[in-house]
Structure 1
Amino acid sequence: MPTSAASSVASRASLARRLFATVDIASLAAFRLLFGLLMLVEVWNDMPDIGEHYVEPEFHFTFFGLDWVRPLAGDGMYVVFGGLGLAALCVTIGLCYRLAAALFFVGISYVFLIEQALYLNHIYLIALISFLMIFVPAHRAASVDAWLRPRLRDDAAPTWALWLVRAQIGIPYFYAGLAKLNPDWLRGEPMRMWLVQGEELPIAGPLLREWWAPYFFSYGGLVFDLLVVPALLWRPTRALAYVLALCFHLINAAVFSIGIFPWVMIAATTIFFEPDWPRRLWNRAAARVGAPASPPPLLARPPARLGRAQRATLAALAIYVGWQLLFPLRHWLYPGDVAWTEEGHKFAWRMKLRDKDGYVRFFATDPELGATWKIDLAGRLRGWQRGEMSGRPEMILQYARFLADDLRARGHAAIEVRVVALVSLNGRTPQPLIDPTVDLARVEPSLLPCPWIVHEFFDR
């Protein structure tokens, strides 16, 4: 083997072994505490909307291949959210931690998959983090579990656990930045349209009307997303990067209605600090009041060789991180602009990138009767469902097929359903999103490119 190739193999082997050395567990324990507390807040905030979102709608937009995911009847969804709150509390205090993390992951994933019209990137991220928390041993310190079972207590954690969480937090930042490298974003759209909505804000409102404001926010967000993770990882720029992250997310919380996401990222970004940062803060506070300091943990060095379990762990980590890196890029497999077609948009960290406005009209044709009529959606769908559906071809197809099934059940055996959907993307003149000549009742859902989507759209 050539010397350079042998050196490369040795370097990779050394890196793999270092993942199984240990680091201070303090930052992971703090992450668990902050994540659990924020999930309690999220569940509490969602409680008033359970009926509107999950109980009262007669129809739910499901995800591809998951038509079987349905809301529970009666008070079932209230029980689910109650269970989510209890699981979040247990994660926070570290009581039955792994079970609580698993139950929270299953519960939040179930709620997330019930209704596609409620899709939010931050709920997807929360589901992924809660999945990782099942395996990350963040309960071995500052937890009820460690108090009840002293043999469980450990002030150190494997390095792979820390870097796995860092990777999961860093990936959305990076892909959000990549997604902003598109012509509309670089010319200040749709940021210009969104900032108009904040003109009434005190102090900041007049600034949002300035000509440079859309470009400041657009380019600032792009640069921030691409560079914040490298800046957080490099010690000389870490403190400044976190201050900028704090400002970035606080501005987003003030200007845009994006729920708990800014607070989740403010808390989650602390994982990029040195692993012992909570212990150092604790010791400084303890020194002021004369309390005993928390001693540094005994850390294990990398193993000389990886055992079978360690190799299996390494393979699982590679598969998971590899999937997270590749799956957001799938929109390149589809023709057209993903902002228009939506093919590959979800689960790709394309956050707050485009603005769509339009309307959809469904028309049914019974060739046996020779009659065509418009289907009135009033009372069939909630306003928030109709608004989200208007620019999403997959949801339009799903509802067209539902209407066709309903009309067949009413005796229209040969029913056809066509759609007129006029949609504006980022302030452009509205134009057809769906081919109005295609009978959507005959179109099967597929992950392949959809020829019935009109790909061309006109610039202003």
Structure 2
Amino acid sequence: MYWHFAALFVLSLLCAAGLFYRVSAALLCAALAYVFLLDKAQYLNHLYLLCLLGLLLAVAPAHRALSLDRLRARRASPAGAPAETAPRLYLFALKAQIAIVYFYGGVAKLNGDWLRGQPLTMWLAEHRGSPLVGPLLATPAAGLALSWAALLIDLSMGFLLFSRRTFPIGAALAVVFNLSNALLFKIGIFPYAMIASLALFADPSWPRRRLPFLFRSADRPGDGAEVPSPAAGRRRGLPLALLHGYLLVHLAVPLRHWAYPGDVAWNEAGHRFSWRMKLRDKDVSELDIRVLDPRTGVRESLDLEAWLTDRQLGEMSARPDMIVDFAHHVADRWREDFGVRPIVTAKVVASLNGGPYRDLVDPTLDLASQPRGLLAVVQPP
């Protein structure tokens, strides 16, 4: 994997420089998707977002200006170099994707626990030892106020950024909001990626106005905006239709948890791919997965650390679908080694957002005989 991440770094540089852009962008998107799909336990919202942005960049003509590909085209054919502009729909797609992340991050906060200030109040209490602001952050009032502030910022951010009049306000709020998240929580590159995305919402002409020496004059041959034609309009019909389909999917997917019974924060059904970020604190007090050999009647508890990495164990312990997946994996391995498929049960006791401890899955069920992802194994909170 070291070579894979080295290749990711090189491909990122090629895309940023606009060199062999079409190939490098497609390979970068594929390489990111490979890492993302390797292991369910490695799911991260910011890696999912990078995959989506990589896909959009792979189909967008983002190398039209200020790129090494553009420089090569000028040198090869000064009079016939392609236009330095691109259809607005590609920029709109990138902006819409960022706005969707913010908006559905806010929609996900419209739940009873968040509106009561949990789990943010619990998390902020961990910072009571911080200089100056620690005692203030540790108060219930701070947790409640910041919970509501985060909700309102997420719901309004996309609208603020899309409007030229309110863009400065939205940008300032986004910087403060994301830097605060970066300081308080360990959420990787996500806050910095969202700050960097603000460049998408600025007036597209600002580089030409601020850095005119980097651009050729629009009235010189081979430069400037493309002149629309009926044929060009027909060619853009397909990208427009695909964009509509893409946006419809990403507007619908985060709402799919409403099609499942129960609380998504407890059963995790519909949690992924929905921008449900930093919304729940699920503490597991007991995790015991047992295997019963039907021939001998011998039951034994598994040494989970011998089966899973620390990351996999931590993720699996709080997610019913992954517990069922693991039960199937254990049963398959057991049958390969001993010639019989065992009964696999799990005693998992968890608390959600400081609530009472309860069974997360039905401890009487043979999880290895249940269809993967079946919600019937989940105990109600």
Which structure 2 residues correspond to residues 52-451 of structure 1 after superposition, within 5 A?
Answer: 77-150=1-74, 151-283=80-212, 295=217, 298-299=224-225, 307-358=233-284, 359-411=286-338, 413-446=340-373, 449-451=374-376
Shift of 1:138: 1.1
Q: CA RMSD in A?
A: 1.9
Shift of 1:303: 5.6
Task: Give, in whole Å, the separation in 2 of the partners of 1:176 and 1:191.
Answer: 15
Letter in 1 for 2:274: A
Task: Give, in whole Å, the separation in 1 of the partners of 2:245 and 2:228.
Answer: 22
Deviations 1:331-360 (A, max 9, x none): 111000001010111001111111111042
Task: Give, in whole Å, the separation in 1 of the partners of 2:245 and 2:326.
Answer: 35
- Structure 1 residues 121 and 372 mapped into 2: Cα distance closer, same or farther (>3 Å)? same
Which runs of 5 or more structure 1 residues have no equivalent in the other structure?
A: 1-76, 284-290
Task: Give, in whole Å, the separation in 2 of the partners of 1:429 and 1:200.
Answer: 27
- Structure 1 residues 293 and 158 mapped into 2: Cα distance closer, same or farther (>3 Å)? closer
SS across alignment from 1:422: strand
- Structure 1 residues 293 and 114 mapped into 2: Cα distance closer, same or farther (>3 Å)? closer
SS across alignment from 1:409: helix
- Structure 1 residues 152 and 128 mapped into 2: Cα distance closer, same or farther (>3 Å)? farther
Shift of 1:301: 6.9
Deviations 1:142-174 (A, max 9, x none): 111111112455331101111111111111111
Alignment check: 8 A CA contact 2:331 2:341 kept:
no
Letter in 2 for 1:269: L
TM-score normalised over the length of structure 2? 0.92
Partner of 2:77: none
Which runs of 5 or more structure 2 residues have no equivalent in the other structure?
A: 75-79
Alignment check: 8 A CA contact 2:281 2:354 kept:
yes
Alignment check: 8 A CA contact 1:141 1:153 kept:
no
Task: Give, in whole Å, the separation in 1 of the partners of 2:17 and 2:186.
Answer: 30
Alignment check: 8 A CA contact 1:184 1:190 kept:
yes
Task: Give, in whole Å, the separation in 2 of the partners of 1:152 and 1:187.
Answer: 59
SS across alignment from 1:134: helix
Alignment check: 8 A CA contact 2:11 2:24 kept:
yes
Task: Give, in whole Å, the separation in 2 of the partners of 1:208 and 1:91.
Answer: 41
